[in-house]
Amino acid sequence: MTIRAVLFDLGGTLENVLFDDALRTQATPGLRAILVQHGLDPGLSIPELYATIKAGMKHYKNWCEESERELPPERVWSEFLFTNHALPQAKFAAIGEELAFYWDMHFSRRTLRPEVPVLLTTLRARGFALGMISNVTSQKLLPHKLDEYGIRDFFQVVLASSVFGWRKPNARIFLEAARQLRLDPAECAYVGDTVSRDVVGARRAGYGLAIQIKSFLTTVLDGENDVEPPDAVVQNLMQVVDLIDGEMK
């Protein structure tokens, strides 16, 4: 079946994402300031606060990977973080999105891959529909970053797991994107950086192509058992154009 749409992951794919404990420790005072502003000072040192956040996010990640669900931000912070502290959980729920947005924005360093604007312009000029499917904690991160990068208008469909409720590699989020584009999944190509989320999810949903571009997150998120081979691995996103052109010939 002819490929009519190309959908992308954001973090690790259209943008480079980097983080380490040093960066995240440096970002922790800003998150503490949000907590204090809302009367939620946990009374922890910066290293202790970062350790609490790190452990809570690991707990949440493990739950997500087992269930393939994504909770709205208010539930993440009230149910998985600070649960052992004598603090009002309802207040955490009320500022869940603010905390999630700060986490996604400041606990990782994000930069757009330089070839992305030309790539999207080329694909649109050739008549492809464009979409995005991304696992994110914050509900407003995707529109914010797409606006910041000046590329939001390229995408006909943008699905965030924190809004949709299911996360990659669950087939539901891929199928919903195809449904919104009014296309058969086999008419869609998906480009992502991980096997465990992107390649496996696109295959489950019956997408016509699963293309991988490796990133820092590939080594962080993929394990030794994530061996599902993509249809192609690219080094630069502009190679996606030739791959899809090849499929159409």
Say whether both 180 and 139 belong to one domain: yes
Say if residue 140 is in the same domain as residue 53.
no
What's 208's domain CATH number? 3.40.50.1000
Q: Are residues 37 and 129 in the same domain?
A: no
Tell whether 56 and 168 lie within a shared domain: no
Q: Which domain holds residue 27?
A: 20-106
Same domain, 129 and 226: yes
Burial environment of residue 6 by CB neighbours within 10 A (0 to 12, 13 to 18, 19 or more) = buried
Q: Which residues in 131-145 are b (16+ Cβ under 10 Å) and which e?
A: bbbbbbbbbbbbeeb
Element (H, E) at 8: strand 5-8
Q: Per residue of the chain (249 residues), what is the pLDDT tens digit? A: 799 999 999 999 999 999 999 999 999 999 999 999 999 988 999 999 999 999 999 999 999 999 999 999 989 988 898 877 666 778 888 899 999 999 999 999 999 999 999 999 999 999 999 999 999 999 999 999 999 999 999 999 999 999 999 999 999 999 999 999 999 999 999 999 999 999 999 999 999 999 999 999 999 999 988 888 999 999 999 999 999 876 654
Same domain, 97 and 44: yes
- Partner residues linked to 134 by β-bridges: 160
Number of domains in the chain: 2
